[in-house]
């Protein structure tokens, strides 16, 4: 019974392609996130959605577009992929926003752009 599931687990694609990563949570959480983890293991927030509404949009290229069709799903679409986009992308969710709420992460999508 996976709490936060993201697909695919691995994604290898050529520069210039467009790709999507899907994320679903079955925890009934209100808030979902996308994080990027670089080769040095540093985790950086990209987007945050609360009840399908965008609340955080960090400085990421506009080639990255999140879409939340409902509270349980937050997908990430990437246009015109570049070599520098290679990283592990994590989806996460929390019951709501606030200092007391921990995040539940998916197992990540390793994106390799060649």
Partner 1 sequence: TQLLEQSPQFLSIQEGENLTVYCNSSSVFSSLQWYRQEPGEGPVLLVTVVTGGEVKKLKRLTFQFGDARKDSSLHITAAQPGDTGLYLCAGYSGSARQLTFGSGTQLTVLP
Contact footprint for partner 1 (CB under 8 A): 4, 35, 40-45, 48, 55-56, 90, 92, 97-108
Neighbours of 95 (CB within 10 A): 15
Task: Read off the tokens for 86.
Answer: 């290679």
The CB-of-17 to partner 1 minimum distance in angstroms stands at 24
Nearer to partner 1, 17 or 53 (CB): 53
The CB-of-112 to partner 1 minimum distance in angstroms stands at 15
Nearer to partner 1, 79 or 107 (CB): 107
The CB-of-2 to partner 1 minimum distance in angstroms stands at 11
> Do 105 and 32 meet the contact criterion of CB atoms below 8 Å apart?
no
In DSSP notation, 72-110 reads TEEEEEE-S--GGG-EEEEEEEESSSSTTPPPEE---EE
Nearer to partner 1, 84 or 102 (CB): 102
């Amino acid at each position: 019974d996976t709490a936060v599931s993201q697909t695919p687990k691995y994604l290898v694609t050529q520069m210039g392609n467009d790709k999507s990563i899907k994320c679903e949570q079955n925890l009934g959480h209100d808030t979902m996130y996308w994080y990027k983890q670089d080769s040095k293991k540093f985790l950086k927030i990209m987007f945050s959605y609360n009840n399908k509404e965008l609340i955080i949009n960090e400085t990421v290229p506009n080639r990255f577009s999140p879409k939340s069709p409902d509270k349980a799903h937050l997908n990430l679409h990437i246009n015109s992929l570049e070599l520098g986009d290679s990283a592990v992308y994590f989806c996460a969710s929390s019951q709501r926003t606030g200092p007391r709420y921990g995040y539940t992460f998916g197992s990540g999508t390793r994106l390799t752009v060649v």
